[in-house]
Each structure stands twice: as C-alpha cells, then as structure tokens.
Amino acid sequence: MVDFGRVLTAMITPFDTKGEVNYAVAEKLAAHLAENGTDTLVVCGTTGESPALTWDEEYELFQVVQQAVRGKAKIIAGTGSNSTAEAIAATRKAAKLGLDGSLQVVPYYNKPPQEGLYQHFRAISEAAPDLPLMLYNVPGRTGQNLQPETVARLAELPNVVAVKEASGNLDQVSQIRRLTSTDFAIYSGDDSLTLPILSVGGIGVVSVASHLVGQPLQQMIRAFVEGRVSEASQLHLQLFPLFKALFATTNPIPIKTALQLQGWSVGCLRLPLTDAPASLVDTLKAVMADLSLL
C-alpha cells in the first residue's frame, strides 16, 4: 500500500511582480508546509493554477519542490490533461524525476463517457507503471463525473492507488468504499467534507486550508481515527468558517489572498483569475483573526 499520509496540501504557485513563477518563494513555502503538518505536497493541481502554467514551468516546480522537501514530505505531481497523449508524456517525464506520485484529473471539456475515462486512465497507468497514480474527480470543473464503478475498475490496476473525491457527494464516496479494497485510499477533495468522508471510509484530505492550519487538520483526523469523535467534531466546527471562506470564490483566489495577509509574497493570480474583492479580504481577515492566524 502506498502511503501518502493524511494531510496532503494542494500547493499554490507563487508568482513575482512580473507574473513569472517565483521559484524561490515556492521553495520556501514548500519547506514551511512540510514542517507544519503536510505529509505530501500536490504540486501543479487546481490550486497551483495548472491551467495557466506551461509544462516547462511545471517541471521546474516539481524539481524545486522536490529539493526543498526531500526526506520531509512526499510529492505528487499534477500531470493530468484532457489529452491522453499529453497526460502520458507529462506523467512519464514526472516519473523520471523520481517523484512519489501523479495526480490525474478527469479529462475536462471533452466529457468522455465512462468507458473513455477508463481507457484514458488505463493508458496513463500502463505508460508509467512504476508511478503511483491518484485519480482526481472534480465534476464541478471538468463537466463529467467519474462514477464509482469506473473508479473500482481502475483501482484494480496495480499503480492506481487513490482517488481525490471532490464531487461533494457522500453517497458516491460510500459506494467507492464499498466497491474497492481497503488498501485503495479515498481522500476528500473538499476541506469542509474531510470529517464526513472519514466517517464513510476516507483516509485524509487533499487540502487547501492546510496552507494555514496543517497541524489542526492532523489533530482532527488523528482524533477521529483514535475514536475521539467529539474532539474531531469540535475541531471541524472551529475550522469550518475558514473552510467556507477559502471557497467563497474560485480557488485559489482566497488562499492566495490569505497567504498574502500572512506576509507571504505569493504574488498575483494569472488571468483569467483575478484578485479577491475587498469584501472577501475583510471576511478572510475576520476568520483568520478568530483562529489566531494573523
């Protein structure tokens, strides 16, 4: 069984004042996260603004982060695509870097049927057989839902080891758990659903909030796993306003704003994403102050 841990941070991509990737800040942030509750860094996923990055920028980020956290945290590279051939090429290249895994998003825009999804992920699996793969189901962004039955078929492939479930559907998570073996890991793709997903067989979260509250998330998960459910629930409720504020508009706009409020020089967002409105900045300030994050 591949162990990515309990708290996986979907890391933002910092930019400089000219809008170029700020690799120095990425290195510093990655090291900080690894020391503050993050077991695995997911680099160049949705939160990392991957649609606005070039492949060359992504490969450089993989290597910079790899150097920054070597021996402290694992790295999963976002190498998925709506082009199967492109995903295969990117995943093979990531495998050669010696990374710990690959995040494979459901192909977006082209809305393949379930058989197409199965064949897409199977082709990537067979092209990089030694690299553990995490499926990423986020129908709100891709326009297509990866059905539990398809997940179960894919879980039979030797290097398909996990799914990041961001459908928001607990029934779907329950069905995936019923249809897969216990060594297939289910991760929440939504911070606010981490605790509910743990209750139906999940193992942890691919988190945005862990940029700010990695240790409390670890405490919440540990409390649940150890049977201290009331304590886990209390931690969830304390963090809940932060979870909601960080998704009050399109991710990663709020989390980049929150990091800026903490003094991180993460820069702007790349178009077509834009800066947070003043009302959201005020909300984030209030929520973060309540949690002593400022």
- Give catalytic residues, as residue numbers: 136, 164
Q: Are 248 and 254 in contact (CB under 8 A)?
A: yes
Distances (CA, A) of 17 to 113, 162, 195, 246, 253: 42, 37, 38, 23, 17
Task: Give the whole-angstrom CA distance, residue 92 versus residue 284.
Answer: 39
Residue pair 38/291 in contact by the 8 Å Cβ criterion: no
Query: Exposure pattern of 148-183 as b/e (b: 16+ CB <10 Å)?
Result: bebbbbbbebebbbbbbbbbeeeebbbbbbeebeee
DSSP state of 38: -
Nearest-angstrom CA–CA distance, 62 and 173: 30
Q: How many CB atoms lie within 10 A of CB 229?
A: 13
Which residue in this structure is represented by tokens 């990089």?
Answer: 128
The DSSP 8-state label assigned to residue 108 in this structure reads P
**14 preceded by a cis bond (ω within 30 of 0):** no
Secondary structure string (H, E, C) spanning 171-202: HHHHHHHHHCCCCCEEEECCHHHHHHHHHCCC
